[in-house]
Structure 1
Amino acid sequence: MQKPIEIIKRLAEMVAETQEVEYSCDDVYCLLDQCVEAVARGEDLVKLMPLVQQHLDMCPDCREEFEALLRVVRAGMSAV
């Protein structure tokens, strides 16, 4: 379990990283397959879809989903 000071620190970091325009979890979910395929091909998500990357940096649930899908895609690519 995180200490209260760690929680406060992370919240402050998240507030500092907040952008004027941000994607929601639903927005990112709609683009997730495209993002995973691009990253699996070696493309830079920061350059390709910076708002998606910014959301993944802030949202542990979406990041977990992204990483799980990326593992599946990479496993499929290596099996070929």
Structure 2
Amino acid sequence: MSLSETEIAQLLKLLRRTEDRELNCEQCLALVAEFAESHLAGKSIPAGLQAIEQHLAVCGECLEEYEALRLTLDGLRGGRDA
């Protein structure tokens, strides 16, 4: 199986984004609600949650979970304000 130039470029882009110490998906999802709440509140992301931001940059599955959660939380906030 050979990779196309586009696929190789995408893999290299992901490799450049990796860090020496990465969260796995389970660790990320355990903290993603706190991350989403901080983000929606406009607060700066605490140092302990910055690894989540890094994980979301390289993991499409966790990013989808985060985006769904963020939309839900945003909807709930809008419901309270109305």
* Length, aligned pairs only: 78
When the two chains are superposed, the root-mean-square deviation of aligned CA atoms in Å is 1.8
- Could you give the per-residue CA deviations for residues 39-71 of structure 1, whole angstroms, max 9, x where no partner exists? 111123385622110100000000010000000
Structure 1 or 2, whichever has the larger Rg, is: 2
8 Å CA contact 1:46–1:53 kept in 2: the answer is no
State the partner residue of 1:35: 35
Asked whether the equivalents of residues 28 and 52 of structure 2 are also in contact (C-alpha less than 8 Å), the reply is yes
Q: Which runs of 5+ in 2 are unaligned?
A: none
Length-normalised TM-score, structure 2: 0.84
Percent of residue pairs bearing the same amino acid type = 23
CA 1:48–1:41: 2 relative to 1, 3 Å: farther
Once the two structures are superposed, the pairs formed by residues 25-64 of structure 1 within 5 Å of their partners are: 25-45=25-45, 49-64=49-64
